[in-house]
Structure 1
Amino acid sequence: MQNISLLVMAAGIGSRFGGLKQMASIGLDGESIIDYSVYDAIESGFNKVVFVIRREFQKEFKEKISRKYAEKIQLEFAFQELNDLPKGLTCPRERKLPWGTGHAILSASDLIKEPFCVINADDYYGRESFKKIVEFFSKDSKNLSMVYFKLGRTLSPYGGVNRAICTLNNGLLMNLIEKENIQNNNGIIMSNNKSKLDEESPVSLNMWGFRPFIFDHLEEMFIKFFKKNGDDLNSEFLIPTVVNHLIQTQREKVFALNSNSNWFGITHKEDSPFVGAEIQKIVDNGGYPKVLF
């Protein structure tokens, strides 16, 4: 069986949550969502986990999160830094916001030489989703993939969320359109531009099956992004934009993998108790041991 790594994007600020939601406890034994994702990855056959974090909270992250897995799976750490840019680029002095998910993945380029799966630290994807990625890599040796969920199952009752709405055709991802501040108001799902959305629409939640050549694409596109948007202190280099460009220019094929797993996410602080209760139901039904690690 080939080596497969898991890249966990855990460097985001979490402004709507009001803190480092990556480390929020949701389980009875203090487990975070990351704990369940790493457990599912190990059970699905992953060999290594690469955490993309901010350097200033690495000590706390290792103490609260990653030390639990040290003897279970190989661990690596990449640091998403504002000044970690391709040669010749300089970060504006006033910049505070991280450069975005595409830059987060690029920051791990020296640590990954094998097929890998990308996830958000604050999203629960379910074991079936990880198995879908492993199965894809076992059958396909050159293409990329994305696990998708149905929009109606990915909303928060506590506020709006952003989602990348997907267009699919014969199992391939054809297009992604980012919709912001999506909310369900009395059964009607709408985004901030007041467009009505179908609850069955497939959405991306940043669970990607990538190969090491993606780093070349990321660096090339980040340089172009920086030259155009580098002075905008709030601009972000986002992975859906990268993938969309690769599809539209026919440089890569991205296969869409449907997951029937329940998805849970923490966008707002009020989401935590709900997510904890839902995962506890899975524990009670034997999906996880009472103590993960």
Structure 2
Amino acid sequence: MNKDLTLLIMAAGMGSRFGGLKQIEPMGPNGEFLIDYSIYDAINAGFNKVVFIIKEENYDIFKETIGKRVEDKIKTEYVFQDINNVPDGYSVPKDRVKPLGTAHAIYCAKDNIHEPFAIINADDFYGKDAYKVASNFLKNVDNDNSYCLVGYKVSNTLTENGAVKRGVCNVENGNLTELIESSVEKIDGKIIAKPLNGKDSFEVTEDTFVSMNMLCFTPSIFKYIEEGFPRFFEENKDDLLTGEYLIPDVVEKLTIKGIVSTKVLPTTAKWIGVTYKEDKEKVVESIKKLVEANEYPNKLWK
């Protein structure tokens, strides 16, 4: 029996950089959103279940737009990222508004996913090849502690409109050894990564691999995220209004300790996304070109 191949889409972020629910910005020729292309590519790569992580107040708008279009194409489930959904003995300040971060988002889906799965951001276009890479890994994974990160060449992930957040990968023999969350920008012809932890900036080459938050896990990740909550609450005890529990940190710690191995699997895909309002025009143009090249149908969902 074929096991389910699940795509977990993290869509609870508030789109603060771009204003409003940026996942719901039409980008395709017939009002398609970037998330539509993600699901289309995932289905074609063999995924047969999608789980959306959203904020409860966005449920109706999400279901009426994206849900309505894809529910008859793929098994669809919704999970609310509730900041009170934390292990017993912990709590978040009542006046916190911001979601608790990507690791917490994944934790919220623990009752919906019992099979290997991939995660993506809702507001990034990852490209066909990336889903094939992820699908191939998930179909063949045979060890609960074997994960993978789909690695993009950094030069395929930049915008002309400013810095972008990327996880810069250090890789040895195809395996991740370090993941440096950084603000990355092309300055005077050089690609400069400025680590978010305040360490010194460094130059990276065009073919350095970065993470776009497309990662593949087995369900063991839920246990590891849960085990990491005490540390998160301790490290952020003075910053529980805004501190975030992030999946790259979890993956890096597990990998460095040797608890899991994380393969970095390269993709030839080029990222498309809206980090800044000014990016939208270019994204619309990029999708138009892909449609004209018959990479996608003009009307995505028949």
Which residue in the other structure is 1:201 paired with? 208
Which residue in the other structure is 1:279 paired with? 287
Asked if 1:259 corresponds to 2:271, the answer is no
**Residues 98-137 of structure 1 mapped to structure 2, 5 A cutoff:** 98-137=99-138
Which residue in the other structure is 2:3 paired with? 2
SS in 2 for 1:39: helix
Aligned partner letter, 1:187: G
**Residues 16-165 of structure 1 mapped to structure 2, 5 A cutoff:** 16-142=17-143, 143-165=146-168
Q: Is the 8 A contact 1:86 1:223 kept in 2?
A: no
TM-score by length of 1: 0.96
Deviation at 1:194, TM superposition (A): 4.5
Which residue in the other structure is 1:220 paired with? 227
Q: Is the 8 A contact 2:117 2:138 kept in 1?
A: no
TM-score by length of 2: 0.93
SS in 1 for 2:83: coil
Which whole-Å CA distance do the structure 2 matches of 1:94 and 1:156 have between them? 34
Which whole-Å CA distance do the structure 2 matches of 1:103 and 1:93 have between them? 17
Of residues 185, 188, 191, the one that matches 2:190 is 188
* CA 196–23 in structure 1, closer or farther in 2 if over 3 Å, else same: same
Which whole-Å CA distance do the structure 1 matches of 2:237 and 2:111 have between them? 24
Q: Which whole-Å deviations, capped at 9, do the CAs of 1:201-257 have from their partners, x for residues lacking one?
A: 110000011111110001111232113314402211111100000011100011111
Deviation at 1:190, TM superposition (A): 2.1
Which whole-Å CA distance do the structure 1 matches of 2:299 and 2:55 have between them? 28
Q: Which whole-Å deviations, capped at 9, do the CAs of 1:86-140 have from their partners, x for residues lacking one?
A: 1111111232221111111111111000110000001111111111111112333
Moved more, 32-41 or 154-163: 154-163
Q: Which runs of 5+ in 2 are unaligned?
A: 195-199
Moved more, 188-197 or 250-259: 188-197
Q: Which whole-Å deviations, capped at 9, do the CAs of 1:21-64 have from their partners, x for residues lacking one?
A: 11111011111110000001111111100000000111011112
Moved more, 187-196 or 25-34: 187-196
Aligned partner letter, 1:56: E
Aligned partner letter, 1:102: A
Aligned partner letter, 1:214: I
Deviation at 1:266, TM superposition (A): 1.4
SS in 1 for 2:214: strand
Q: Is the 8 A contact 2:55 2:82 kept in 1?
A: yes
Q: Which runs of 5+ in 1 are unaligned?
A: none
Aligned partner letter, 1:251: I
Q: Is the 8 A contact 1:119 1:206 kept in 2?
A: yes
Which runs of structure 1 show a deviation greater than 6 angstroms over 4 or more consecutive aligned residues?
A: none
Which residue in the other structure is 1:210 paired with? 217
Asked if 1:166 corresponds to 2:174, the answer is no
SS in 2 for 1:206: strand
Aligned partner letter, 1:93: K
SS in 2 for 1:247: helix
- Aligned-pair identity in percent equals 43
Q: Is the 8 A contact 2:156 2:269 kept in 1?
A: no
Asked if 1:236 corresponds to 2:237, the answer is no
Moved more, 195-204 or 238-247: 195-204
SS in 1 for 2:277: coil
